[in-house]
Amino acid sequence: MKAMVLEEIAPITSNPLELRRVPDPAPGPGEVRVRVRCCAVCRTDLHVIEGDLPRATLPIIPGHQVVGTVDQLGEGCSRLAVGDRVGVAWLRTTCSTCRFCRAGRENLCEEQRFTGYHADGGYAEFATVPEAFAYPIPDGFDDVHAAPLLCAGIIGYAALRRSELPDGGTLAIYGFGSSAHVVIQIARHRGCEVYVVTRGEGHRRLAREMGAAWVGADAADMPVKTDSAIIFAPAGELVPIALEHLEKGGTLSLAGIHMTPIPELDYERHVFYERDIHSTTANTREDGRNLLAEAAAVPVRPHMTTWPLEEANRALNDLKADRINGTGVLVMTDD
């Protein structure tokens, strides 16, 4: 099969992913093989490629927002059938027995493993996944529009849950990339007002088009304090700014898997009056199922830019340079 392979950690500007012919994977016991139709690109892919996350498996095929059809079943599979359309997300497996797994918090499991990081992902024509961690895709989404929901959507949804946004409340979003442009659609569907702080004019324009109550480049210009806030940008310097613009009793959710250092906080100015800070760690399968159901009900419509698989380096360079409005998706092309 064709695949984009990372041999060694390197800056994405060096175009480190190599197009190769590698053996088709075979599903192990309890796994299914998926013929990949498309795979969205994600900032987490950049963190893997550039070494912001601890080194795991190399060489590796990145990609963890996969949509495709089941074409082989491993031993013991019974829930899915050949031909089923499924999604593959970041969370690949957990131990299922630890206190976190038993409490419904499998995203905190010490034994969790991730797609495109510990095991090969979706920048390829085929990928395998444990059957229990594959998501049926609602019929209302075509393949390309479903792909961003499998990480940008799921993590955004988890971050929204962690922000404790009240019904009809106000939400500030810092950074307006792939996750944020899904979250704004869900928040507005719930009757909430959304205020967006983002540097790029293209991102500000998209936020306005998607119904933000206010959009700006500087939080100091935000006309109100909000009930909740989510930081999607991997920029620790935004934490005190976001806290300062929260209402008393408000909650700040940190959505990134990686963030630059957070500056010193002033207790009175930033934290007092029962302001909370909640990090968001990966996701649970329940987050994924709930996100897909609510996204179908809204319905969420991601904004897309597509590239052929062979241009994964270019797509990721565009992502790093903030040249993508919404989400970028790699699509499989016939030879």
Asked if residue 141 has pLDDT above 70, the reply is yes
Distance CA 174, CA 276 (A): 17
Helix, strand counts (H, E) of the chain? 9, 17
Nearest 5°: the CA angle 63, 148, 316 is: 50
Question: Residue 307 has which token pair?
Answer: 């590239």
Question: CATH 3.90.180.10 in the chain, residues?
Answer: 2-151+283-331
How does pLDDT run across 101-111, given as a tens digit for each residue? 999 999 999 99
The amino acid at 209: E
Residue 15: which region, alpha, beta or left (left: phi > 0; alpha: psi -120 to 50)? left
Cβ(74)–Cβ(30) under 8 Å? yes
Count Cα atoms within 13 angstroms, Cβ side, for 171: 31
Label residues 53-64 b or e (16+ Cβ within 10 Å = b): beeeeeebbbbb
Between 3.30.980.20, 3.40.640.10, 3.40.50.720, 3.30.465.10, what CATH number should domain 154-279 receive?
3.40.50.720
Q: What is residue 153's DSSP assignment?
A: H
The dihedrals phi and psi of 209, each to the nearest 5 degrees, come to: -60, -30
The amino acid at 133: F
Cβ(255)–Cβ(231) under 8 Å? yes
Confidence of residue 325 (pLDDT cuts 50, 70, 90): confident
Question: CATH 3.40.50.720 in the chain, residues?
Answer: 154-279
How does pLDDT run across 78-94, given as a tens digit for each residue? 999 999 999 999 999 99
The alpha-helical segments, DSSP class H, found in the chain are 43-50, 99-102, 143-146, 152-162, 178-189, 201-209, 238-244, 285-297, 312-320
Cβ(278)–Cβ(162) under 8 Å? yes
Confidence of residue 335 (pLDDT cuts 50, 70, 90): low
Percent of the chain with pLDDT over 90: 95
Cβ(115)–Cβ(94) under 8 Å? no
Q: What is the mean pLDDT of residues 301-324?
A: 95
Confirm whether pTM is higher than 0.85.
Answer: yes
114: three-class secondary structure by DSSP: strand
Architecture of domain 2-151+283-331: Alpha-Beta Complex (3.90)
DSSP 131-144: GGGEEEPPTTS-HH
Asked if residue 334 has pLDDT above 80, the reply is no
Distance CA 125, CA 68 (A): 9
